[in-house]
Amino acid sequence: MLYLGIDIGSVSIKYALIDDKCNIKKSDYFRTKGDVVGSITKLLKSVKKYEVVGIGTTGSARKFVCAIINADINVDEITAHRTGVEKLFPKVHTIFEIGGQDSKLIYLGKKSVNFEMNHVCAAGTGSFLDQQASRLDMSIKKFCKNGAKVQDSHKIASKCTVFAESDMIHAQQSGVPINKVIRGVHKGLISNYFSQLCKGKKLIGDFLFEGGTSENPLLVDELGKRLVADGLLKDPKKLIVPPRPQNLILGAIGAALMCQIKNINNPRKVPQVKKFKFLESKECFECINKCGAKITVVNINNQELTIGRSCQNG
């Protein structure tokens, strides 16, 4: 029996096709480039020959994707990542993820799961690194390679993208070597992550770093150094960075595993994207909160679906 897990976030889509023993039969990770429907269509075509018994979606676009492909369940990101990590790395208690548009900290207790998310400012996310690499006319790979040439860094403001970029430009115009500036940006990003998400938390190991940014050797290095500096690790190499593709698809694996956990048994060929029609975007004032939450209404197979509402009326 095969289960398909799909994790679609702000900048990328990942999937994992696993069997009932959690062996990965097929997986992939690629950027959506703003085209959610095109990306999910591409994904489904790559696995169309398989028959599955369960499909789970997760990530920020999970509800929309669940509806347009008629998946069995949509799973919140924290549950999906926790489930994937607990299955493959059972000794891990703290999960770090720095995404394209938001960052997550998940810390697992014996009887509880706690988490923090930062989706207010891009200064602590991978997209900021992409933007600065582009500004310097470098690929992200070259950007990281240049920063890795030095061990010491030039201090860069880390709490705001505007101030951080201003600091970078001022440093460049003052003759500071670009590799020191680049390392300073990475160190600042980790500093921002800790101040926003980890402050006041009692974190215990093992520690795991996942997601696309875990393939950035400078971020891995700076995160390991920070854990040592805070007395959480003795050796930065003890920070767990799963091998590819596990580091990229733990959320997708978790979504697939949730199908098993919920005993879903719905055999069929992998479906294709249903036709849908955008109806409207508006602010919602339907419940007693009158909060004006931004929602989108679409029509899928003659049924209206509201996306984006996260309140008691949702």
Q: Where are the domains of the chain?
A: 2-82+248-269, 90-241, 276-307
* Better pLDDT: 38 or 303: 38
Q: What is the mean pLDDT of residues 270-292?
A: 80
Residue 8 Ramachandran class (φ > 0 left, ψ -120 to 50 alpha, else beta): beta
Structure tokens at 41: 């269509």
Checking if the pLDDT of 49 tops 70, the result is yes
Contact 146, 186 (CB under 8 A): no
- Tens-place pLDDT, residues 171-220: 888 888 999 989 988 998 898 888 888 888 888 889 999 988 899 999 99
Gap between the Cα atoms of 296 and 280, Å rounded: 6
Gap between the Cα atoms of 20 and 86, Å rounded: 16
90-241 matches 2-82+248-269 in CATH topology: yes
Checking if the pLDDT of 48 tops 70, the result is yes
Task: Say what the pLDDT of residue 67 is.
Answer: 87
Structure tokens at 21: 């023993």
Beta strands in the chain (DSSP E): 2-8, 12-19, 24-31, 51-52, 54-58, 73-74, 94-98, 103-108, 113-118, 207-210, 268-269, 276-284, 293-300, 303-307
Q: Distance between terminal CA atoms of the chain?
A: 33
Q: What is the mean pLDDT of residues 138-150?
A: 90
Task: Say what the pLDDT of residue 113 is.
Answer: 84
Gap between the Cα atoms of 254 and 142, Å rounded: 32
Checking if the pLDDT of 312 tops 60, the result is no
- Tens-place pLDDT, residues 213-227: 899 999 999 999 999
CATH 3.30.70.260 for domain 90-241, yes or no, is no
- Please choose, from the candidates 109, 1, 115, the residue with its C-alpha nearest in 3D space to the C-alpha of residue 51: 1
Fold designation for 2-82+248-269: Nucleotidyltransferase; domain 5 (3.30.420)
Average pLDDT, the chain: 87
The top-scoring range by mean pLDDT among 1-5, 121-125, 160-164, 273-277 is: 1-5
Q: What is the mean pLDDT of residues 36-44?
A: 90
* Better pLDDT: 160 or 106: 106
- % of the chain at pLDDT higher than 70: 95
Q: Which residues are paired to 18 by β-bridges? A: 3, 24
Gap between the Cα atoms of 179 and 168, Å rounded: 11
